[in-house]
Amino acid sequence: MSSAFNSSTLIAEGGVAFGTSGARGLVVDFTPEVCAAFTHAFVAVMKREYAVTQMALAIDNRPSSPAMAQACAAALLQAGVVPIYYGVVPTPALAYQAMQDKMPCIMVTGSHIPFDRNGLKFYRPDGEITKADEQAILSANVDFAPLLELPALHGRPEAAQAYCQRYSSLFPADLLAGKRIGVYEHSSAGRDLYAPLLRQLGAEVVALERSDEFVPIDTEAVGEEDKAKARRWSAEHKLDAIFSTDGDGDRPLVADEQGEWLRGDILGLLCADALQIEALAIPVSCNTAVASCGRFAKVALTKIGSPYVIAEFAELAKEYRRIAGFEANGGFLLGSDIELDGKPLAALPTRDAVLPFLMLLAAAGRGAISPLVAALPQRFSHSDRIKEFPTSRSQAIVAAGQVDPAALLAQLGFGGVGVARVDTTDGLRMTLEDGRILHLRPSGNAPELRCYAETDSMATAQQCVADVLARVVAL
């Protein structure tokens, strides 16, 4: 059968691009041939280092994900690789299973972005692909034949079972005894796993708002409706905590006993402290309380995106043994094998939602969550985004601010306040002389402009973000 397609050509012309974590694009652009092109390129890159005979696959609950997985599986079969399909599971569950089996894997998910978009996440046998791997995939020249038939896929249970076992075996069976926990299920890929796991650890679980429609939960920009829901659920069901995730189950969304959602970086800080982590790698957008709290020997700041956090682990490992990272969106990455109360916990260098939630509850013990947060340095972060905002426009605004931050601040309504420090690690992060921090950055996953603010009160942070985004629209 003659070859009809070339991977690099299809990818270059297909409208799908790598973002902060994986390849993302509109569903209409993820044709079977484009999915196959990425799969063939990934196989070719992995075969440069590994003997690849099998590859794991899983999906989230997006309507488009099953067909994309079939196209990936068809391409694997063309390449002489056996697809091992685990159905709908959280991304960290797939990654963990594949790492234990020492094989690469592909997760079909668009994470938190709207359902008209989707994506592919790629994992080496030792964890997430690097930015260098991404470039190798883009430039791999693989010719392949048309996909004449898409295989039927039947999900296997091992990945879900191993993921739950990872945590049920780590803690005592009465860890959550006496706790009432709400699980906001919506369309999360892990919604069938969380309640049984929490019950196994002794909790009373209240299932909340399962949805047959895909719900694009963004854990870094929680909407007012979800904030109101959490407060209402907490009061109505007398909950000690609420647990949820984004679409593919790698970013946690956690509320305390009052129904107040925790910022992901604050949750990560508390988890890392409970795990007695020595050195952290975190994106520059994280709350400065992580560095100022004095609980870690080293806090390294990176660009935004899990590949950058993971890349920093290699440097930290030269000096420290207990290594981790997390992002402002909450995903926690365990960078080294550790022991917890004498029990082993294997490294999982990809975003995970379950570990930070369980460690938070372990740290709270029989008490409440809110005092743990109150004991931290009181710096408050807020973020939001302008959707459907051209990336080129975002980049132009950031570029102008890098040249003349004072002029941009004046345009944004902050004239008369001096700039103490500018950080261009990722976007434009400006520390003002009065202590406020403003950070503008084009999203790496969608045509959106994100704004982050950090101040000494939540109300001020929220107002800063609202003011900045309103001015940006008017520019």
Q: Which of 234, 164, 215 is nearest to 192 (CA)?
A: 164
Strands (E), 19-104: 23-26, 54-59, 82-88
Kindly report the number of other CB atoms within 10 A of residue 143's CB atom.
13
Strands (E), 97-231: 105-108, 117-124, 127-128, 143-144, 180-186, 204-210
Catalytic pick among 65, 111, 381, 383: 111
Question: What number does CATH give the domain 5-160?
Answer: 3.40.120.10
44 phi/psi in degrees, rounded to 5: -60, -40
Do domains 5-160 and 178-374 share one topology? The answer is yes
Q: Which CATH number fits domain 178-374: 3.40.120.10, 3.40.50.1820, 3.30.300.180, 3.50.50.60?
A: 3.40.120.10
65 carries an active-site annotation? no
CA distance 475 to 472: 5
C-alpha to C-alpha distance for 292 and 94, rounded to whole angstroms: 35
Task: For residue 203, give the amino acid letter.
Answer: A
- The domain segmentation of the chain, as residue ranges, is 5-160, 178-374, 380-474
Task: Determine phi and psi for 143, rounding to 5 degrees.
Answer: -90, 140
How many other CB atoms sit within 10 Å of the CB of residue 421?
11
DSSP class of 112:
T
Please list the pLDDT of the chain residue by residue as tens digits (475 residues): 457 899 999 999 988 999 877 999 999 999 999 999 999 999 999 999 999 999 999 999 999 999 999 999 999 999 999 999 999 999 999 999 999 999 999 999 998 888 899 999 999 999 999 989 999 999 999 999 999 899 999 999 999 999 999 999 999 999 999 999 999 999 999 999 999 999 999 999 999 999 988 888 877 778 888 899 999 999 999 999 999 999 999 999 999 999 999 999 999 999 999 999 999 999 999 999 999 999 999 999 999 888 899 999 999 999 999 999 999 888 999 999 999 999 999 999 999 999 999 999 999 999 999 999 999 999 998 888 898 899 999 999 999 999 999 999 999 998 888 999 999 999 999 999 999 999 999 987 678 999 999 999 999 999 999 999 999 988 8
CA–CA distance from 105 to each of 6, 67, 100, 421 (Å)?
22, 17, 12, 41
* Fold for the domain defined by 380-474: TATA-Binding Protein (3.30.310)
